[in-house]
Every structure is written in C-alpha cells, then in structure tokens.
Amino acid sequence: MKYVKLLFATAGASMLLGALVSGASARSFSISNQSISAMWSEVTLNFGGAQSSCHLTLEGSMHSRTSAKVIGSLVGYITSATLGPCSSGTATILREALPWHVRYSGFTGALPNITSSTVHVIGASFAIREPFGVSCHIRTTAAQPGIGTFHRNVISHEITEVGIAGRIRTTECGVEGTLSSVSGVMSLLGTSNVRISVTLI
C-alpha cells in the first residue's frame, strides 16, 4: 500500500512539474513598440592595441509585437547605425553590411519576473585603425556575436538600460578584441522619453 501511494505521489508530482515546465516554455515576450532606438554615450572597441571609444546610436525594428522564447530565433533587424563623436581613437561603421540580424539568446531571473534578456547581433561591421595606420575590419558572426543585454524593471516592465559586449576576431589583423559599453538607453524610435516595456504573455 505504501508503495502504491508513493507511486501515485511521484506520478502526480511529475505531472505537475511537467505542466509547469510546459507553461513556462510556452510563454512569449510582448514588446510595447516595434520601432526602437538605443543610444550609448560610450562604446569601446579594443583590438590589438587599437582602441576607440565612441558615441553609438542604433535604430531598428522588431518583426512582431510578440515573439516566442526560442533561442536563436530571428526577432528583428538593426537598420541604422551611427558611430561618433569619438573621445579616443578612430572607428567607422561599414554601412554596406546593414541590416544587422538580431537573434534571441536567453534571459535571467525567474519567470515571470525576468530581470534581463539577451540578444546576439550578427553582421555588425566596423573598421578600426591601429596606431601604425593599419585598418582592421571587425564583423560579428554567429560564432562570435555582439551581445546586447536588456535590463528590465520587474514592476514597471520597462527596459531600464542596455549593455553591449562581445569578443570578436578581426578579419585582416588576426587578433581577437572586445566590445564593451557604458549603460545605454532604449526608447521608441524618434523620441527620447518614451521607454520600451517588455511583458510575458
């Protein structure tokens, strides 16, 4: 009898856990606006002794107001990128590589109160000049993406800040360097005070 009770209890717990996992995996993200912009006062590219720290503005669009939590899925494009002015160094954006692809990569926190979400940016292309005048090209790939982290207020659901990171190898200079940033802000495209919010549905 004890064995039967234990068996039923185990089965019930397994079914409940399965339902919870299934419900969590079925959740989708809902974003308040599809057209967005993000701005950083300083993004630093550091490659083989060549370092540039510049202002960066990105503009783009999400494919839909809702998207499933599927790692690797294409969720949007970055269609415009403006680099500068620079406080140090020299760098340019290779605009012919636009649009850049934005792919969902994961989240932190416990559902439904996630504290941040992460995307991988594929195809972002820059040129940075070394001190001796050699120009190194940088292009993010699926293997070495640019990483965007969106920090979220769990009460208001607003994106409070955005960070950039990544380790990428240059195509000509053969060195691996880093992308990093101070905290950036994200807003509705064309405004600076309408924040973007993300909810789970």
Residue 102: half-sphere exposure toward Cβ, Cα within 13 Å: 23
Q: Is the pLDDT of residue 148 over 70?
A: yes
Longest CA pairwise span in the chain (Å): 82
Residue 142: which domain range? 27-200
SS3 27: coil
Asked, for residue 10, whether it belongs to a domain, the answer is: no
Asked, for residue 124, whether it belongs to a domain, the answer is: yes
Asked, for residue 52, whether it belongs to a domain, the answer is: yes
pLDDT, tens only, 156-201? 999 999 999 999 988 777 788 999 999 999 999 999 889 999 998 8
Sheet containing strand 198-200, edge to edge, reads: 66-68, 28-31, 198-200
Asked, for residue 12, whether it belongs to a domain, the answer is: no
Q: What is the DSSP letter of 95?
A: G
Asked, for residue 15, whether it belongs to a domain, the answer is: no
Asked, for residue 17, whether it belongs to a domain, the answer is: no
Asked, for residue 66, whether it belongs to a domain, the answer is: yes
CA distance 81 to 19: 43
pLDDT, tens only, 28-66? 999 999 999 999 999 999 887 788 999 999 999 999 999
Asked, for residue 4, whether it belongs to a domain, the answer is: no
How would residue 131 be classed by pLDDT, with cut points 50, 70 and 90?
low
pLDDT (0 to 100) of residue 170: 85
**Phi and psi angles of residue 113, each rounded to the nearest 5 degrees, phi first:** -95, 65
Q: How many domains does the chain have?
A: 1
